[in-house]
DNA sequence: ACCTGAACACCGTTCAAGT
DNA sequence: ACCTGAACACCGTTCAAGT
């Protein structure tokens, strides 16, 4: 039963989740799959391509069933979903941010955000810039959360002080951004 | 004439500027200084510490002579200065962002931004969160500029279309952020 | 105090050769 | 088609020993 490209990606995600990006090496991955390092290069061009494919997996299904409503609730929902997707895997923000930086295309996430913001009334250029700005915020905030990570895995339901929880802290910055955009639209 | 810690940092910055972060290895640095790799560890604890010291150099003198005036002009000036400092060295944003992620303290940049925003009327927690948000934006935007980098080193004086130049694009996102904060203050 | 020599335990990637 | 074996050209870090 030969190895599948899918097996390789799944194995890589498993190592990422359990040991983190620093321990995700081609040799270690090969070992966990019971195969020689060189074998991986039959399924994947190189490590960079592997990380790109992992990033795609992490972001998969991000845009399913977006609520129809005001632009601000839609963009807020998108941002929260992106953060959740990144938080779902150890070092997820770092992996996806690194993969994104290399491709100017940037996948559909930016396109979707741009679309929502253009609908809101921004012109094409501003909408795309605003989408990138938001993306940077989500990546930066989430990477921060994950680097200070470990504990506080699942936030307790009755959170303590005002902006203690990660979600609340994230929401604050997000609302500043949305407020700023609103000011530009009136 | 023995090597100095200062020589090591200067040599490291030279390699960074000329070849980029990917080529800044301890062995290469040692070679450029005419010394064995092990010698570096007399002057610097490890590579992480070296990168931290480089980050400090890049950010050095960031807060000198901040204009006295409204909070929004001050925070805008600070953000522009931070971006300029990062742009002054190849891969500067990536280096400083990586170094920042590891130290919760975060140096004085955040502290200064927090101070300005607290003066503006935000409470302590919100001011610090807002400062971090702004920091993420600056890092994200600048890292993006530098990864798509190379060409467009010095923007021509008479820039073309609306948001073509890096500075203008940066300014747009920055003003969204500042507008959002203003909305929170009235 | 400062550095060399030499090692240890790794990397990513390539590629003939096997099945 | 898919993988092994073995190599190539690297890494960061440690540490006795030299000066």
**What SS3 string covers chain B?**
CCCCHHHHHHHHHHHHHHHCHHHCCHHHHHHHCCCCHHHHHHHCCCHHHHHHHHHHHHHCCCCCCCCCCCHHHHHHHHHHHHHHHHHCCCCHHHHHHHHHHHCCCCHHHHHHHHHHHHHHCCCHHHHHHHHHHHHHHHHHHHHHHHHCCCCCCCCCCCCCCCCCCHHHHHHHHHHHHHHHHHHHHC
Say how far A22 CA is from C18 C1', in Å.
Answer: 34
Spatial neighbors of B91 by CB under 8 A, at least 6 apart, are: B16, B20, B21, B146
* CA angle centred on B181, ends A108 and A174, rounded to 5°: 30
Residue B57 Cα distances to A33, B47, B75, B92, B94, angstroms: 44, 15, 21, 11, 14
Q: Residue A150's pLDDT band (boundaries 50, 70, 90)?
A: very low
Confidence at residue B104, expressed as pLDDT on a 0 to 100 scale: 55
CA gyration radius, chain B: 18
Tell me the C-alpha distance between A178 and B121, whole Å.
Answer: 20
For A13, half-sphere exposure in the C-beta direction (CA atoms, 13 angstrom radius) is 19
Residue ranges, chain B, pLDDT below 50 = 150-160
- Contact status of B159 with chain A (Cβ, < 8 Å): no
DSSP class of residue A22 equals G
Look at residue A109 in the predicted model and tell me its pLDDT. 86
Question: Mutation test of the interface with chain A: which of B106, B140, B164, B175, choosing the one with the most A Cβ atoms within 10 A?
Answer: B140
Given pLDDT bands bounded at 50, 70 and 90, which one contains residue A151? very low
pTM assigned to the model: 0.91
Q: Across residues A141-147, what is the average pLDDT?
A: 92
Q: Are B136 and A139 in contact (CB < 8 Å)?
A: yes
Half-sphere exposure of residue A92: CA atoms within 13 angstroms, side-chain side: 21
pLDDT(A108) > 90: no
CB contact under 8 A, A180 and B184: no
Mean pLDDT to the nearest integer, A131-141: 94
Q: How far apart are the C-alpha atoms of A125 and A143, rounded to whole Å?
A: 27
Query: Where are chain A's structural domains?
Result: 5-44, 65-185
Per the structure, the residue whose CA is closest to nucleotide C3 at C1' is B39
Q: What's the pLDDT score for residue A159?
A: 43
Q: What is the DSSP letter of A68?
A: P
Least confident interval from A47-56, A116-125, B58-67: B58-67
What percent of chain A clears pLDDT 70, i.e. is strictly above it?
A: 90
Which architecture characterizes domain A65-185 according to CATH?
Orthogonal Bundle (1.10)
Q: Which CATH number fits domain B5-44: 1.10.240.10, 1.20.58.2050, 1.10.10.60, 2.40.30.10?
A: 1.10.10.60
The beta-carbon neighbor of A101 closest among B144, B175, B183 is B144
Residues 154-173 on chain B lying near strand C, CB distance under 7 A: none
Q: Which chain A residues are closer than 8 Å to B178 by Cβ? A: 180
Partners of residue B182 in chain A, C-beta under 8 Å: 183
Would you say B8 and B35 are in contact if contact means Cβ atoms under 8 Å apart? no
Please return the burial class of B66, using the count of CB atoms within 10 Å of its CB with bins 0-12, 13-18 and 19+.
middle
Q: How many CA atoms lie within 13 A of B180 on its CB side?
A: 24
| pLDDT of A107 | 73
Reference B15, options B40, B1, B2; nearest CA is B40
Check residue A66 and give its pLDDT.
87
The pLDDT score that the predictor gives to residue B158 is 46
Q: What are the phi and psi torsion angles at A100 (to 5°)?
A: -65, -40
């Amino acid at each position: 039963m030969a190895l599948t490209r899918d097996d390789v990606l799944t194995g890589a995600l498993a190592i990422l989740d359990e040991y983190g990006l620093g321990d995700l090496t081609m040799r270690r991955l090969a070992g966990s799959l019971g195969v020689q390092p060189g074998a991986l290069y039959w399924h994947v061009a190189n490590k960079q391509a592997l990380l790109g494919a992992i990033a795609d997996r992490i972001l998969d299904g991000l845009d399913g069933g977006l609520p129809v409503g005001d632009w601000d609730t839609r963009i807020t929902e998108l941002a929260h979903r992106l953060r959740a997707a990144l938080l779902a895997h150890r070092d997820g923000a770092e992996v996806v941010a690194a993969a994104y930086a290399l491709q100017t295309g940037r996948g559909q996430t930016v396109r979707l955000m741009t679309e929502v913001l253009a609908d809101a009334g921004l012109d094409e250029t501003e909408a795309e810039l605003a989408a990138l700005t938001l993306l940077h915020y989500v990546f930066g905030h989430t990477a921060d959360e994950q680097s200070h990570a470990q504990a506080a895995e699942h936030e307790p339901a009755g959170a303590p002080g005002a902006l203690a929880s990660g979600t609340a802290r994230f929401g604050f910055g997000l609302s500043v951004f949305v407020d700023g955009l609103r000011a530009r639209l009136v």
